[in-house]
């Protein structure tokens, strides 16, 4: 079990790294082995992206740290779960010319998205919830497995998109009320 949390904020809503760390660490019980944080502003200054991760190390203990970015910086990912067929996908991606720095299913997930875009999600077998930022497209991709084995909560309001493995970091976000309108927060559906 890991924990993911993050946001995409319009310029007027930007937050600091301490806020990202504090809200992510509300889920420290989900990932006692490691933590990671990424705070990024798009080159046009329209958006701030924050990703936080609490890790329970299972696969590639030394190389699967998150958030994980591609070498070119285009893609950044936080991920909770396990991709059961990642070795098969990795082999297919290597045949297509993709290179890997780690042995983690996290990196396979990033490269699968690079190769197949949203079709990558259909190829995944496992239990997962993830958030991927594509900096070139300024796009946030959120997905979870079809059975909802790994939770992914989503809130969208007031120039902010928030997501997380648990609802608590979302309702603790500065400027959001604990009594959020039921239309503003929900569980991501397939």
Element (H, E) at 153: strand 153-157
The Cα–Cα gap between 65 and 46 comes to 28
Find the catalytic residue in 1, 2, 12, 86.
Answer: 2
158: how many CB neighbours lie within 10 A of its CB?
A: 12
Element (H, E) at 110: helix 105-116
Is 116 part of the annotated catalytic residue set? no
Helices (H), the chain: 17-24, 86-95, 105-116, 119-123, 168-171
Q: Which residues are catalytic?
A: 2
């Amino acid at each position: 079990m890991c924990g993911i949390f993050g946001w995409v904020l319009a310029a007027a809503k930007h937050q600091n790294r301490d806020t990202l760390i504090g809200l992510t660490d509300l889920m420290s019980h989900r990932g006692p082995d490691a933590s990671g944080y990424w705070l990024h502003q798009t080159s046009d200054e329209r958006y701030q992206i924050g990703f936080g991760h609490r890790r329970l190390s299972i696969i590639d203990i030394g190389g699967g740290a998150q958030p994980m970015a591609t070498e070119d910086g285009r893609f950044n990912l936080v991920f909770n779960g396990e991709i059961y067929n990642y070795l098969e996908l990795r082999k297919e991606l290597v045949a297509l010319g993709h290179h890997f720095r780690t042995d983690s299913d996290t990196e396979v997930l990033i490269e699968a998205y690079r190769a197949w875009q949203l079709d990558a999600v259909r190829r995944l077998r496992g239990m997962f919830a993830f958030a991927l930022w594509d900096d070139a497209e300024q796009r946030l991709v959120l997905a979870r497995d079809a059975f909802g084995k790994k939770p992914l909560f989503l809130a969208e309001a007031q120039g902010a998109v928030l997501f997380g493995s648990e609802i608590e970091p979302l309702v603790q976000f500065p400027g959001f009320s604990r009594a959020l309108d039921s239309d503003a927060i929900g569980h991501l559906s397939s």
